[in-house]
Amino acid sequence: MKSSVASTKKYCNSLVQYSRRKTIPVQVGDVVIGGNNPIVVQSMTTIDTMDTMGSVEQTLRMVEAGCEIVRITAPSLKEAENLRAIRDELRKRGCNVPLVADIHFTPNAAELAAQIVEKVRVNPGNYADKKRFENIEYTDETYEAELDRIRKRFTPLVELCKAHGTAMRIGTNHGSLSDRIMSRYGDTALGMVESALEFLRICEDLSYDQIVISMKSSNAQVMVEAYRLLVNKLEEEGLKPYPLHLGVTEAGEAEDGRIKSAVGIGTLLEDGLGDTVRVSLTEEPELEAPVARKLVDRYATRSSHNEIKSIGESPIDPFAYHKRGTREIVNIGATNVPRVIADFSQLENVGIKDLKSIGHFYLPEPDKWTMNDQGADFVYSGSQVIPFMLPNGIRSLIDYPVWNSLEDKKNRHPVYSLKQLQAAEQCDDTLNFLKLSADDLDDETMAILEADNLTVLLEANNAHKMPALRRFFFELEKRGLKVPVIITNNYQVKDEEQFLIDASTDIGGLLVDGFGDGVMLSAHSSDDLDRLKLKNQTAFGILQAGRTRMTKTEYISCPSCGRTLFDLQETTAKIRKRTDHLKGVKIGIMGCIVNGPGEMADADFGYVGSGKGKITLYKGQDVVKRGVPSEHAVDELIEIIRADGKWMEPQAVEF
Ligand code: SF4
C-alpha cells in the first residue's frame, strides 16, 4: 500500500498512506519536539517584553488555552535580560512552560537569551545581515566570504546553545530573505530553503543538532512549496531529519485567518510533515492554541484510514505551482476562475429570498438584482426544480431523472450518477455533471471522462480525504484527461471553527497543487440558510487562501508582539471597515518597521508602525509617506490606493 515517491520529488513518506515523517527529537525544557512525540502546539505573546507581570499573565492564559511552548520577543539586550524575570515569576507560580526568545537583527540579545530560556529563534535573513533591498552581484569568492562572515557571527550563539542545552529554531521568513539570498536565488522557495541551510550547515559542522526549522510565508502556496523542498534538500544533502515548525505568517483574523492557516499548515500535516505548529492570528494569543489543537487533532487516529490505491510516482512537481490543464465547458475549467456551486438540495421550497444566503440580492429600489463578490455561480437543487428564473446568470444543476422530464432545460444542467450516465437516453448539449467518488479509478470510468461537455463532481468518503481526492487527480494527470473537476465535500457543521479547518485543509491542499476547477460544499440535511451562507463564504475563502480566486480584500496583518507600536486588532478593524470592498487588493498591516516591511512580502499597500503614534505607508515595498500621525493614516492610505487607481467607492448591496 505504500507509495514510493521518486527521490527527486520526495518530500514525505507516502502520498497515499498517512505516515508522519520521522525526525530527530529536540529537547525544549520539559517538552520534546519531533522523534515519536505528539505534535506540539505553541504560540507567542503580544505584550511588551519589559512588562514582566503582563507577560507572565498572558503566558499563563496561553498555557491554560493549550499552548505547550511560549515565544517572547527579545528585540534588544534589555528585553533578553528581562526574560529572566519572566521565567522566574512563571516558575514561582508553578508554570514550567518552555520559553523561546524571538530574535531579529540582534546577535547579542540571542547570546544572552540562550543562557536564560529553553530555546532561541533566529531568522537567518536578518541574524547577521541588515536588509537594504539591494541587488548585489556576487562572485563565488565574494559569496563564500559572506558565508564566512556569517559563520563568525553565528558560531558564538551555537556554542552557547550547546553549553546550556538550549534548543534553536532556524526560522526563515519569505518576506525577510537576505540581500545575498535574494541576489542569488530570488524570492523563491529555493531561496528560503538555502537561507536556512546556510545556518544549518554551520550548526552541523559544530556538532550541534538541537534544531527545529521553519519556512513561513503569508502566501500558503509558497509556504507549502518551501517546506516540501526543505525536506527534499535535507535528504539530498544527507543532513539530519530535523523537526519542522509549521506556520503561516500574518494569516490575519477571524475566518480568513483560520482558513489561510489551515490551507498552509493543514496541507503539510496531511502528508505527515510538521512536529510543532503555531497558528498566527491578529487576535488575542490565547485564541491561537485552540485552532492549532483542532488542526493537529485531526491526525490522532488518521493512520487507520481506508486504503487509497498506491501511485508509483507523483505526476506533478510538488515544489512549484502549476494549474492542472482542463478543457473549458461553458464557464468552467481552462483559464476560468474556480467556480462555486451552492447546494440547495436539502432546502424545502426554495424561495427567491433564499438567494441572499449565497450572495445574490434583489434591490426593490431601483428594482434590479445584484450580487456581492461572493455570489455563487451555480445552484444544485437535487431533485427539486427551482420555480423561478435565477438572476445574475446563475445556472442550476438538477438530478438527471428530474432534469430529463423537464420541458424547459435552459440554463439547467443534469447531474448523473455513473449508472445513470451509462444508461442515459439524452444528455445536455452544453454541460453535464457526473458524481464520482475518489475511488472510481478503473479504466471504464476513466474512458467515460474523455467525453466533451462533462464535468466531474468529486467526493471522497475517506478519513484521509485530501490525499484520496489528490489520488484521483493524479490518475487524471497520468492519463492526460482534461475533464474539469469540482471538489465536492460534505460536512456536518457542529463546530464552526472545526468546519473551517476541515474544509480548508481538505480542499486547500488540492488547490495549492493546482487541482480543482471549483468547489461545492454540499448541504447536510441539518443545514439552514445560515449554514448555507457559511458554506458559501467558506468556499470563496478557501479559493482566496489558495490564491486561485480573489474575491475579497486580503489583509496580511501581523499577529503583533512586544515590538508592536499600535493596537493591531483595533487598527485592522478600522482599515477593514473602509477597504473591505476592494476585491483582490492586498493590504499589509504591520506592527513595527523593523520586521513589518519584509514580512508583508507581496502586499500591494502597507500600513506599518514606525514610532509611537506614527505610521509609514507603503506602495509595494516602496515608502510613500513616512511618519504620518496615526489619526490621519487610514485616510492617507486610501489616498495612496486612489492614486494607484485601485480605489473604488463602496456600494450598498445588502438589504
Ligand atoms: S511585524 Fe508585527 S509580529 Fe512581526 S516583529 Fe513587528 S510587530 Fe512583531
Q: Nearest residue CA, atom 8 of ligand 1?
A: 561
Grid coordinates belonging to 248: 503561516
Contact by Cβ (8 Å): 561, 45? yes
CA distances from 614 to 541, 601, 626 (A): 32, 21, 8
- CB of 610 closer than 6 angstroms to any ligand 1 atom: no
The H or E element spanning position 89 is: helix 77-92
Asked if residue 597 has a cis previous peptide bond (ω within 30° of 0), the answer is no
- CB of 560 closer than 6 angstroms to any ligand 1 atom: yes
Q: Nearest residue CA, atom 5 of ligand 1?
A: 595
* C-alpha atoms less than 13 angstroms from C-alpha of 571 in its C-beta half-sphere: 31
pLDDT per position as a tens digit, 139-172: 888 888 989 999 999 999 999 999 999 999 999 9
pLDDT per position as a tens digit, 270-296: 999 999 999 999 889 999 999 999 999
Render the burial of 387-404: b for 16+ CB within 10 Å, e for the rest.
Answer: eeebbeebbbbbbbebbb
Nearest to 401 by CA among 378, 386, 417: 417
pLDDT per position as a tens digit, 89-125: 999 999 999 999 999 889 999 999 999 999 999 999 8
Say what the pLDDT of residue 655 is.
Answer: 35
- CB of 562 closer than 6 angstroms to any ligand 1 atom: no
- CB of 266 closer than 6 angstroms to any ligand 1 atom: no
- CB of 595 closer than 6 angstroms to any ligand 1 atom: yes
- CB of 500 closer than 6 angstroms to any ligand 1 atom: no
Residue-averaged pLDDT of the chain: 93
pLDDT per position as a tens digit, 54-77: 999 999 999 999 999 999 999 999
- Rounded to the nearest angstrom, the distance between the alpha carbon of 489 and the centre of ligand 1 is 37
Give the Cα separation of 264 and 582 in Å (integer): 24
- Rounded to the nearest angstrom, the distance between the alpha carbon of 564 and the centre of ligand 1 is 6
- Rounded to the nearest angstrom, the distance between the alpha carbon of 599 and the centre of ligand 1 is 8
Q: Nearest residue CA, atom 3 of ligand 1?
A: 560
Say what the pLDDT of residue 596 is.
Answer: 85
- CB of 211 closer than 6 angstroms to any ligand 1 atom: no
Cell 499552548 -> residue: 67
SS (H, E, C) 9-26: HCCCCCCCCCCCCCCCCE
Atom number, ligand 1, closest to the C-alpha of residue 609: 7
Say what the pLDDT of residue 125 is.
Answer: 87
Nearest to 242 by CA among 284, 264, 266, 275: 275
Render the burial of 357-366: b for 16+ CB within 10 Å, e for the rest.
Answer: bbbbbeeeee
Q: Is the pLDDT of residue 564 over 90?
A: no
Give the Cα separation of 387 and 399 in Å (integer): 15
Instruction: Report helix, strand or coil for 90.
Output: helix
pLDDT per position as a tens digit, 301-331: 999 999 999 997 789 999 999 999 999 999 9
Q: Nearest residue CA, atom 4 of ligand 1?
A: 595
Give the Cα separation of 425 and 576 in Å (integer): 53
**CA R_g for the chain:** 26
CA distances from 125 to 53, 104, 113, 215, 560 (A): 32, 9, 19, 11, 20
Q: Nearest residue CA, atom 6 of ligand 1?
A: 592
Using 50, 70 and 90 to split pLDDT, how confident is the model at 362? confident
* Count of C-beta atoms within a 10 Å radius of residue 44: 24
For the segment 425-444, the average pLDDT, to the nearest whole number, is 96
- Rounded to the nearest angstrom, the distance between the alpha carbon of 125 and the centre of ligand 1 is 15
Nearest to 231 by CA among 68, 439, 12: 12
Nearest to 383 by CA among 366, 363, 405: 405
Give the Cα separation of 580 and 29 in Å (integer): 43
- Rounded to the nearest angstrom, the distance between the alpha carbon of 595 and the centre of ligand 1 is 6
The best mutation among 44, 73, 555, 564 to test binding of ligand 1, ranked by most ligand atoms within 8 Å of the C-beta, falls on 564
- CB of 557 closer than 6 angstroms to any ligand 1 atom: no
pTM: 0.92
* Amino acid letter, residue 644: D
The H or E element spanning position 531 is: helix 529-545
- CB of 102 closer than 6 angstroms to any ligand 1 atom: no
* Of 179-188, 204-213, 644-653, the least confident: 644-653
For the segment 27-32, the average pLDDT, to the nearest whole number, is 98
- Rounded to the nearest angstrom, the distance between the alpha carbon of 587 and the centre of ligand 1 is 15
- CB of 460 closer than 6 angstroms to any ligand 1 atom: no
pLDDT per position as a tens digit, 465-499: 999 999 999 999 999 999 999 999 999 999 999 99
CA distances from 147 to 111, 124, 143 (A): 20, 12, 6
- Rounded to the nearest angstrom, the distance between the alpha carbon of 645 and the centre of ligand 1 is 29
Using 50, 70 and 90 to split pLDDT, how confident is the model at 183? confident
- Rounded to the nearest angstrom, the distance between the alpha carbon of 159 and the centre of ligand 1 is 28
Rounded to the nearest 10°, the torsion over CA 75, 76, 79, 84 is 110
- CB of 591 closer than 6 angstroms to any ligand 1 atom: yes
- CB of 522 closer than 6 angstroms to any ligand 1 atom: no
Atom number, ligand 1, closest to the C-alpha of residue 102: 5
CA distances from 141 to 138, 148, 531, 537 (A): 8, 11, 61, 53
The H or E element spanning position 40 is: strand 40-44
- Rounded to the nearest angstrom, the distance between the alpha carbon of 208 and the centre of ligand 1 is 29
- CB of 484 closer than 6 angstroms to any ligand 1 atom: no
Render the burial of 620-655: b for 16+ CB within 10 Å, e for the rest.
Answer: eeeebbeebebeebbebbbebbeeeebeeeeeeeee
The best mutation among 599, 600, 610 to test binding of ligand 1, ranked by most ligand atoms within 8 Å of the C-beta, falls on 599
